[in-house]
Amino acid sequence: MPASGPDGQVAIVTGASSGIGRATCVALARTGARIVAVGRDAGRLAATAALVREAGGAPPLVLALDVRCEADMQQMSARTLQHFGRIDTLVHAAGILRAPGATLRMLSQLPVEEWDAVVDINLRGTFLANRAVLPAMIAARRGDIVNLSSRSGRAGIAFDAPYCASKFGVIGLSEAIADEVRHHGVRVQVLAPGKFDTEVLQQTGPLPQPGGIPPPERVADAIVWMLSMPADARLLNPVIEPTRQPGGAGWTHGRGDAVAQARMRSSHKESDMDTSSSSAARDLRGKVVVVTGGSGGIGLATARASAALGAAVVVADLDAARVAAVAAEVEQAGAAGCLGVAIDVRREEDHERLVKATLERFGRIDALIVCAGILRKRGTPPKVLVDVSTDEWDDVIAINLKGVFLSNRAVLPTMIAQRSGTIINLSSVQGLQGRAYDGPYCASKFGVIGLSQAVADEVRTYGVKVQALMPAAVATPMWEQNLPAPMPGDAIPPERVADLIVFMLLQPEDTMIVGPVIAPLGARKRKAAAKPAQ
C-alpha cells in the first residue's frame, strides 16, 4: 500500500456536520491527522468533534462557517493557520441535492432560486474553499485537495439539472486547478460517489430507496487512500459506488452454475482457505489472485503486492522460464502459495488450462487481474492508419481485447458459482482519448472499457465485480516499443498501479471503484519544470 499518508497532517473538512464529511473527519483522525471540522450547524459539529475524540483523534478545531460566503472561507483558512500554523489537506464535502423544500422538477419549471441554492453551495462553495487554502499550500510547496463530485457529475439524470450541472462543474473546476498548481507541489483530485446512506437521500422526495445502501465510511476510506498516495501520482475522477446485492438469474442460470460447481467440488485444494468475505479487509489472506501478464511491468508489481498481503498468487504469461522464475520469487515474498502457468492469451484452450490448474491447486478464484497487453506488433513503429497492415491490427486486438474476453469468460463460471469475485481489466488513458499513430491500440483499449462495463452489468447480481482501470504514463518495458520517443520523465513506477489494484481488491462486497485513471501528477502537460520537493 502507499508509503505516505495523512499522519500528523492538518486536514480541513467541509460539510463535516454529517454524512461523508463527518465520516472523513473520523477516518482521518484515526490516521493521526489533526482535524478542522467546518459546517454551518455548531451543534452538529460538536457531535462530529465527539466522534473524532472517540476515534482517538486530538480535539478538532470546530468552525461554524458557510461555504457560500467568501469572508467565511477566508476566515477558515486564517483561523486554521493561526491555530496549527499550516494547511496540508482540504477535503471539500459540503453539498446538497436540492434546495430545502424543493421537489422534483423539470428544468422548464425550475425557479431561479432553487438553481441558485444548489449551485451556490455545490460549485461556488468549491471555488471559494479551494481558493481560500491554495495560497498557504503554494507558499509551502505542498498540499492535497480532494473535492467531492458525484456519480451525477459523470452522467446527468432527469429532474435534478442544478445538481448535475454543479457536480459536472466540480470535476471541470478541479481538473483546471490541478493543472494550475501541480508544479507548486499541490495535488488536486476529485472523487465521485454513487448512492451512499447519507442525509442527501432524505432529499430525494417520494422516490423509494433500495435496501443495503452502504454507509458513508466507505467513501471516507477511499478519500484517505487518495490522500495516502505518493506525491508523484493522482487519481483522475474515480467513481465509488455501491454494488447490487447478490441473487437472481443471469446468463449462466442452469448449466453454467452446475458446471462451475462441479469443477469446484472435484478440485483438490492445497489448503482449506477461508472463503468468508470481510467488510473491513486489511489483507488478502485466504484469497486466490490470478494475474495475466504477470511476469513483468504492472502484472509483476501486482503479483508481488498481492503476495505481500498474504494472497495465493497465480502468475500467467507467455515465457515459461520467466513465469517459473517469477512464481518462485513471488512465493518468497509471502504468498500463501504461488503457481506459474505459461499461456498465450490469444488461445482459448490456454485459458481453460489456467483455470483448471488454479482450481486443482487452490480450489477457488477470487480475483483476476488482466495485465497482458502490447502497444503494437513487435518490431513495428508508430503508423498512420492507412499504413497499418491487417497482421499488425490482428495482433494488437487479439492480445489486448480478445485476450481480455477469453480470460474473463474462463473465470466467470467459477466466480458465479462462488457468488463472489473481482475482475480488474487493464485499459489505458488511450481507452478514453485516442492518440494519433496508434489506432489499433486505442481501439483495443476503448474496447476493454466497453467490455468490462457490459460484463459488469451481466454478473453484478451474482456478487461478481468487473472493473476497468486506466493507467497513464507508467514506467514499464512497453515504453521500449515507443523508441525513439523517450519515456516521459514523470512516468510513475508500476508499483503505483499495483497499489491501486490492491485497494480495489480490498473494497468491501458492497462497494466498488469505477473508472479510475491513475496518472503522474503532471501527466496532462509534461513541460520541463523542476519537480517540487515534498
Tracing cell 462530529 back to the chain, one arrives at 48
What DSSP letter does each residue of 344-373 carry, written as one string? -TT-HHHHHHHHHHHHHHHS---EEEE---
Three cell numbers written together for 119: 449551485
The whole-number pLDDT of residue 266 equals 37
The pLDDT-based confidence of 260 (bands split at 50, 70, 90) is very low
Stretch (H or E) spanning 460 = none
Compute φ and ψ for 526, nearest 5 degrees: -105, 55
Compute φ and ψ for 55, nearest 5 degrees: -80, 0
Burial class (CB in 10 A: 0-12, 13-18, 19+), 134: buried
3-state secondary structure of 129: helix
The whole-number pLDDT of residue 107 equals 82
What's the pLDDT tens digit per position in 437-446? 889 999 999 9
CB 97 within 8 A of CB 165: no
Would you tell me the crossing angle of helices 403-418 and 439-459 to the nearest 10 degrees? 10
Is the pTM here over 0.95, yes or no?
A: no
> Nearest-CA neighbor of 423 among 446, 461, 453?
453
CB 497 within 8 A of CB 519: no
Model confidence at 391: pLDDT above 70: yes
Model confidence at 268: pLDDT above 60: no
Three cell numbers written together for 372: 497482458
Model confidence at 278: pLDDT above 60: no
CB 503 within 8 A of CB 221: no
CB 185 within 8 A of CB 142: yes
Model confidence at 425: pLDDT above 90: yes
What's the pLDDT tens digit per position in 295-346? 999 999 999 999 999 999 999 999 999 999 999 999 988 889 999 999 999 9
Model confidence at 44: pLDDT above 90: yes
Strand order in the sheet with 517-520: 233-236, 517-520, 464-471, 421-426, 367-370, 288-292, 312-317, 338-342
Q: How distant, in Å, are the alpha carbons of 52, 162, 366 from that of 145?
A: 21, 24, 34
- Its sign, for the CA torsion 414, 499, 36, 139, is negative
The whole-number pLDDT of residue 484 equals 62
The pLDDT-based confidence of 244 (bands split at 50, 70, 90) is low
Model confidence at 249: pLDDT above 90: no
The whole-number pLDDT of residue 208 equals 58
The pLDDT-based confidence of 202 (bands split at 50, 70, 90) is low
The whole-number pLDDT of residue 169 equals 93
Model confidence at 21: pLDDT above 70: yes
The pLDDT-based confidence of 206 (bands split at 50, 70, 90) is low
Strand-pairing partners, residue 492, are: 474
What's the pLDDT tens digit per position in 99-109? 887 777 788 88
The whole-number pLDDT of residue 478 equals 72
Q: How distant, in Å, are the alpha carbons of 12, 198, 381, 533 from that of 143?
A: 11, 28, 41, 11
Helix then strand then coil, in percent of the chain rounded to 5, is 45, 15, 40
Model confidence at 217: pLDDT above 60: yes
CA distance 338 to 325: 11
Q: How far is CA 369 from the centre of its chain?
A: 14
Pairing of strands 186-193, 61-64: unpaired
How high is the mean pLDDT of the chain? Answer: 86
> Nearest-CA neighbor of 187 among 24, 9, 16, 29?
9
Model confidence at 497: pLDDT above 50: yes
The pLDDT-based confidence of 486 (bands split at 50, 70, 90) is low
The whole-number pLDDT of residue 2 equals 39
Polymer length of the chain: 534
Span 159-168, average pLDDT: 89
The whole-number pLDDT of residue 17 equals 96
Model confidence at 269: pLDDT above 50: no
Give every CB contact of residue 90 below 8 A, 6+ residues apart in sequence. 11, 12, 13, 14, 129, 130, 133, 143, 144, 145, 146
Pairing of strands 10-14, 34-39: parallel
Buried/exposed 348-382: b ≥16 CB within 10 Å, e otherwise: eebbebbbebbbebbbbbbbbbbbbbbbbbeebeb
Active site residues: 441
Model confidence at 383: pLDDT above 80: yes
> Nearest-CA neighbor of 483 among 337, 381, 400, 362?
381
DSSP 8-state symbol, 474: B
pLDDT top residue among 504 and 335:
504
The whole-number pLDDT of residue 292 equals 98
Angle at 401 between CA 349 and CA 526, to 5 degrees: 140
Three cell numbers written together for 292: 495475466
70-84, 298-312, 429-443, 485-499: least confident range? 485-499
CB 130 within 8 A of CB 178: no
CB 342 within 8 A of CB 318: yes
3-state secondary structure of 76: helix
Stretch (H or E) spanning 521 = none
Model confidence at 264: pLDDT above 80: no
CA distance 294 to 287: 17
Burial class (CB in 10 A: 0-12, 13-18, 19+), 497: buried
Model confidence at 194: pLDDT above 70: yes
pLDDT top residue among 244 and 93:
93
The whole-number pLDDT of residue 9 equals 93
The whole-number pLDDT of residue 320 equals 97
